Amino acid sequence: YTGINIPYCALTGVITPNVQERAVVAQYRFFLAFAAQWLISTFFLPLAKTFGGQSSSPTFNHNLGYDPVTGFPRAMIVFGVIATALFFLTFFTTKERVTPVKEEKSRFSDDWRDLMHNKPWWVLFISAVLNLANVAVRNGAMLYYLSYCVADSSRSLFSINFGFFTLDVTRTVLFMSAGTLVQILGVLPTSWLIKRFDKRAVYIWTVVAQGVSYAAIYFVPGTNYELILALQLLGMFLGGPGP
């Protein structure tokens, strides 16, 4: 992740020197990133069930109705192969237009000292750590929360037949899939917002509002699925302009 994501994130700064154009590039980036997140959150479990559907397997779980030991790795391989191909496509088709000054030289110790005394960098660093912690904790706890705290989370709402597998849309699937879909829509007004308001203010207020909507879920009874879903969708939408 470190070897890929650091240079990938740095690409925005070398594609164009224009701040507004960088914001537009980032908008496309996060729109498609959230689209991929939606695809994975929606189709991962159906793929795992399809690949782990052999009832003769020694690790077949009759309570789940599939073999997670076989299904999960195979589903991950599918997404991993697709991701690898897309990373190579990005590498070979991206043009770096901003080049560093060749005559400019600096010592690592000087760069490190400048970084340690850069207060805006520290603010962004702490913000990034807290944001990633929020994403990791919420994503890690989401299935458990829906399974044990939300009433009838496994209730099937409708099914979609894709031929080689059927997508059974339960309350849990709708909660996770719709949230990511709304986050994609939240990316769309980003360029409009930063043209009319200060970028720093947009980031702060959307993150604060998102935090309030997520925190409010804690006080909603598990029987009120509709309100929990509404707060989730609001928070996910506000998370669109945040990155």
In whole angstroms, what is the distance from residue 143 CA to residue 49 CA? 16
Structure tokens at 84: 């690898």
Please provide the average confidence, as pLDDT, over all residues in the chain: 85
Is residue 5 within 8 A of residue 151, CB to CB? The reply is no
Span 216-228, mean pLDDT? 93
Give residue for tokens 């590498």: 91
Dihedral in degrees, nearest 10, Cα atoms 147, 149, 150, 152: 60
Span 184-206, mean pLDDT? 83
Could you count the other beta carbons within 10 Å of the beta carbon of residue 15? 16
* Beta strands 156-161 and 166-170, pairing class: antiparallel
Is residue 53 within 8 A of residue 38, CB to CB? The reply is no
Q: Which residues contact 59 (CB under 8 A, 6 or more apart)?
A: 67, 68, 69, 70
Alpha helices in 94-224 (DSSP H): 108-116, 119-148, 171-187, 190-196, 199-217
**Measured at the alpha carbon of residue 147, what is the angle toward residues 145 and 153, in degrees to the nearest 5?**
110
Give this prediction's pTM.
0.68
Span 194-211, mean pLDDT? 86
Span 103-113, mean pLDDT? 82
Could you count the other beta carbons within 10 Å of the beta carbon of residue 97? 9
Tens of pLDDT, residue by residue over 142-193, are: 878 888 899 888 888 888 777 766 777 888 888 888 888 888 888 888 778 8
Tens of pLDDT, residue by residue over 49-63, are: 888 888 888 888 887
pLDDT of the residue at 165: 66
Q: Which residues contact 149 (CB under 8 A, 6 or more apart)?
A: 222
